[in-house]
Structure 1
Amino acid sequence: MSRLCGRWVFIALLCGCVGCVFIFCEYLIYYPAVLRCAWPGAASGPGADGGAAAPLLRALVLSDTHLLGAVRGHWFDKLRREWQMERAFQTALWLLKPEVVFILGDIFDEGKWSSPKDWEDDVRRFLQMFRHPSDTELVVVVGNHDVGFHYEMNWFKLQRFEKVFNVTSARIVTKKGVNFLLVNSVALHGDGCSICQSVENELFKLSYALNCSVQANSKRDRCRDVHKFPPSRPIILQHYPLYRVSDAECTGEDAAPPEERHQVFKEQYDVLSQTASQKLLWWFKPRLILSGHTHSACQVLHGDKFPEISVPSFSWRNRNNPSFILGSFSSENVTLSKCFLPQESTVITVYCTTGVVLIILTLVHLHIFKGTVHFASCLISKHKSL
């Protein structure tokens, strides 16, 4: 009876150990990672009108979640990646409490070809994963995997996406005096297609309205009937990066791997064309451009005065070390910091180490158990012989 009891105690200890490791790797590991992050401070300069200090907006920015679909998504891969992103996002929401969350496109991996039924299922899972309280606003930008590359995009796919997320291909969202310009960069192909022409026309109107807002005194007559925005240069949010030759100048632990940094980017596929990039910079003169698409981090300065930051993928399927951006925005200042999530290699190492230790303990226990039984049998046999 004592031997049987000892065996069950050992099994219970093994199960408890496995349970603790599982809870740590699947729940608790995100808390110390996010707790190391902090909102960046911003210079509390005067507001745009020279008055009191401009209020700060706290925004969380991530990109390229790539929710797997019904065609290429293996069930376990989907389960694993979506669980990781959900726990990381929900932990960040609970600990950091951002006022707005921006996702820079490629929400889905198969939006470009998913059937209506598969689309509804993908949307349902996304809304579950990225649920948020009413005092946090979620704003998304369309990416090429959501509606297809330019040659795949059509009005049906685009309007399906815009209806679900209540967005348009060219729109300004204003928060606490900060103008965020949301751009459908997939449509900036410049070939005169109906979607491209519609987006460019709307961007030109927004550019004119922003210029009138900034220079209202000098253009009073021309801007009389134009919608006014806060007099602050915009921050552009889009999926494609502006044109750059490659990632050769990109550095940091979440930049592209060294063997990929010198690969030349293809215009209108990896980055926007030079023409489209120059138009955006000329029309809007942004304070900052935030983009995704490359799945790696990069910081670029266009024309020596227009900074752009490429935000890495939020999915562990695309990176071993996903991250997101924390931004403190005011009408005059922008400060950013990066928050790294647990590396998947760390989780795998913890699981593998635990497995090895448990196997060793089991073997040791069985060896000791057998040795004890053998020793007891010898004692009994000796006692009987006496």
Structure 2
Amino acid sequence: MPGLNGKWSSLIFVVWTVSCAFIFCEYLIYYPAIFQCSWPEMDRAPSGESRDREPVPILRALILSDTHLLGAIRGHWFDKLRREWQMERAFQTAMWLLRPEVVFILGDVFDEGKWSSTKDWDDDVRRFRKMFRHPRDTELIVLIGNHDIGFHSEMNWYKLHRFEKVFNVTSATMATRKGVNFLLVNSVALHGDGCAICQAVETELLRLSQDLNCSLEADPMAEDCRDARWFPFSRPIILQHFPLYRVSDATCTGQDASPPGQRHLLFKEQYDVLSKEASRKLLWWFQPRLILSGHTHSACEFLHANKYPEISVPSFSWRNRNNPSFILGSFSSASYMLSKCFLPEESTVIAVYCSAGAAILLLLVLLNLHTVRCTLQLAGCLLAKHKYV
């Protein structure tokens, strides 16, 4: 009976250890990590001397990038299951704890959108909608990345329209929320070679620039502004997938920047970053107060022309980095503040599972030693009894 009770106790310990490790690593670990994050606080007091004006409205936006949902061609089933579960739990926990008003995903939602058949595309979209489901009072805005429709040479109208239809977005549009102008750009199309898609996007961007200038500076009665769309008096924030041109990540720092050995690698125009010409046009046309981009999978803060700040948002997928993160932004028509929220490191999850496995292995070793000792004792008793008989 004592041996039987010991076996049951060991079995209970193994089940309890495995269950606790699983529940913690797959559910609970996201809560303490995201609970530490908070929205940046901004002064809501109206400018000027009047105290009768309404407080300045603040928009709370969550920004993430490069989810890279694996597809049917290169995605191993376990890798897909693991990465999608991690992102789903992290996103749903963030929705529950932080309650953003709008979520921006800066492109490369899918890993194989550039290759997907209609059937595979529909399956990828279904899984995306399940993972990134959100409350009705939260708006989800998804931008176009090169893995969604292909690089410039792979891009075509079919893949572009397929993406735009699913996510209700166009390649160049101004999304205004609470007086904040967000310029959403399909940066894949800023190749500058006069292709049909590129030309259509540049034409729309130029028109948006003229309309915005009419709203910010020009005389509303001027002939050039009579047919313009009017936007709130606020310099825009550009959101796109590709970063603006920079030589490398050499000046980027922080725990989620590129590894030190890779920061000095030179970027290739129109592949790693936009071309110098496309970057110059965007800055000249819109003079943004902030640029938010993805694509590099690492964080970086860069100042263009000493006055246009750009922040590259790291990948949200543990497949691309050990420490994914997202950005929390508080925006008003005249100001903004940002903070970063780090998700649990995958190395921590592996360490917890390894610790649980080591505890179980140690128990089995001790149990085996106990069994051997009991067997030897029993054998000794039998020998002694046989001797006296």
TM-score range, shorter chain: over 0.9
**Residue 42 of structure 1: CA displacement?**
1.7
TM-score, normalisation: structure 1: 0.96
Q: Which amino acid aligns with 2:90?
A: A
Give, in whole Å, the separation in 2 of the partners of 1:382 and 1:112: 79
After the TM superposition, which residues 162-201 of structure 1 pair with which residues of structure 2 at under 5 Å, given as runs?
Answer: 162-201=164-203
Give, in whole Å, the separation in 1 of the partners of 2:192 and 2:177: 30
Q: Residues 121, 282 of structure 1: CA spacing in aligned structure 2 closer, same or farther, 3 A cutoff? A: same
1:241 corresponding residue in structure 2: 243
1:32 corresponding residue in structure 2: 32
TM-superposition CA deviations, 1:195-241 (whole Å, max 9, x none): 00000011111111111111254654432221111111110000000
Q: Residues 75, 334 of structure 1: CA spacing in aligned structure 2 closer, same or farther, 3 A cutoff? A: same
Q: Secondary structure at the match of 2:163?
A: helix
Give, in whole Å, the separation in 2 of the partners of 1:63 and 1:315: 9
**Residue 52 of structure 1: CA displacement?**
3.7
Q: Residues 157, 48 of structure 1: CA spacing in aligned structure 2 closer, same or farther, 3 A cutoff? A: farther
Give, in whole Å, the separation in 2 of the partners of 1:381 and 1:22: 48
**Counterpart contact for 1:170–1:182, Cα < 8 Å:** yes
Q: Secondary structure at the match of 2:44?
A: coil
**Counterpart contact for 2:256–2:299, Cα < 8 Å:** yes
The match for 1:136 among 138, 149, 153 is 138
RMSD: 1.8
The match for 1:308 among 302, 307, 310 is 310
Aligned length in residues: 386
**Counterpart contact for 1:104–1:237, Cα < 8 Å:** yes
Q: Residues 225, 48 of structure 1: CA spacing in aligned structure 2 closer, same or farther, 3 A cutoff? A: farther
Q: Secondary structure at the match of 2:224?
A: coil
Gaps of 5+ in 1: none
**Counterpart contact for 2:10–2:363, Cα < 8 Å:** no
**Residue 48 of structure 1: CA displacement?**
10
**Counterpart contact for 1:54–1:332, Cα < 8 Å:** no
**Counterpart contact for 2:219–2:225, Cα < 8 Å:** no
Q: Which amino acid aligns with 2:42?
A: A
TM-superposition CA deviations, 1:242-270 (whole Å, max 9, x none): 00000000000100011111111111111
**Residue 34 of structure 1: CA displacement?**
0.3
**Counterpart contact for 1:48–1:231, Cα < 8 Å:** no
TM-score, normalisation: structure 2: 0.95
1:19 corresponding residue in structure 2: 19
**Residue 45 of structure 1: CA displacement?**
5.0
Percent of pairs with identical residues = 67
Give, in whole Å, the separation in 2 of the partners of 1:329 and 1:198: 30
**Residue 53 of structure 1: CA displacement?**
3.3
Gaps of 5+ in 2: none
1:76 corresponding residue in structure 2: 78
TM-superposition CA deviations, 1:124-157 (whole Å, max 9, x none): 1111100101011100100000000000000000
Q: Secondary structure at the match of 1:222?
A: helix
The match for 1:91 among 90, 93, 106 is 93
Give, in whole Å, the separation in 2 of the partners of 1:363 and 1:48: 74
Q: Residues 378, 48 of structure 1: CA spacing in aligned structure 2 closer, same or farther, 3 A cutoff? A: farther
